[in-house]
Amino acid sequence: MSSKDKNLSDVSTDGISEKKLRKYRIALIKSNWNDDITGALERGCRDYLTQYGANEKQIKSFHVPGSFELVYAAAHLLEEKSFDAIICIGCIIKGDTPHFDYISQAVSIGLAQLNAKGQTPIIFGILTTDDKQQALDRAGGKYGNKGVEAAATALQMIQFAHNS
């Protein structure tokens, strides 16, 4: 379902225990590229996590230059084995060259490969849009906030990992 048919902030937290959530550690890696957008995504993510009981001290933020670097940062944090979920926040906006395609594909494949290891949930909170307005619409605009969706996904995956 496309985000134009669904509000990204309209997510379910059924079955998530706030009491248990306080003990879980969450890494939040944000790309600095398109900072006005990724900053809004990060705020939406952090606000949602704390709203549902995550301890602010258990959420550790990391910043990287661009979306491509999210893969390295996630791999590095995965090796530490210190987090119950790793949320990657980024924004890749299509331009006039194929750069968008290369970066989007590399980030998607890289994070999917890390996620497939099954050690710690890696959450894909990355916008890939045709233009800046589409990104703004999905970073707290008319289609909600992808950061909220990423946070809810992290909580659900933490719950899955600890109950399976």
The pLDDT tens digits for 12-32 are: 656 565 556 678 999 999 999
Tell whether 16 is covered by a domain: no
Is residue 56 domain-resident?
A: yes
pLDDT cut 70: percent of the chain above it? 87
Measured CA to CA, the distance from residue 31 to residue 39 in angstroms comes to 9
Taking residues 97-105, report their average pLDDT.
95
CA dihedral (136, 102, 69, 87) positive or negative: positive
Query: Is there a contact between 103 and 92 (Cβ–Cβ < 8 Å)?
Result: yes
| CATH number of the domain within which 107 lies | 3.40.50.960
Q: Is residue 123 part of a domain?
A: yes
Closest by CA to 89, choosing from 148, 141, 129, 136, is 148
Structure tokens at 22: 């306080």
Which 8-state DSSP code applies to residue 95?
Answer: -
Residue 18 lies in a domain: no
Give the pLDDT of residue 7: 63
**For residue 1, is it within any domain?**
no
Percent of the chain with pLDDT over 90: 74
Q: Domains in the chain: how many in total?
A: 1
The answer to whether position 15 is within a domain reads: no
Helix (H) or strand (E) holding 86: strand 85-93
pTM of the model: 0.91
**Residues annotated catalytic, as ranges:** 99
pLDDT at residue 14, rounded to an integer: 60
Q: pLDDT tens, 109-129?
A: 999 999 999 899 999 999 999
pLDDT at 163: 82
Structure tokens at 83: 């987090």
Q: Is pLDDT at 92 greater than 60 in this prediction? A: yes
User: Could you give phi then psi for residue 65, rounded to 5 degrees?
Assistant: -60, -45
Residue 40 lies in a domain: yes
Domain that holds residue 28: 24-163
Question: Does any domain span residue 14?
Answer: no
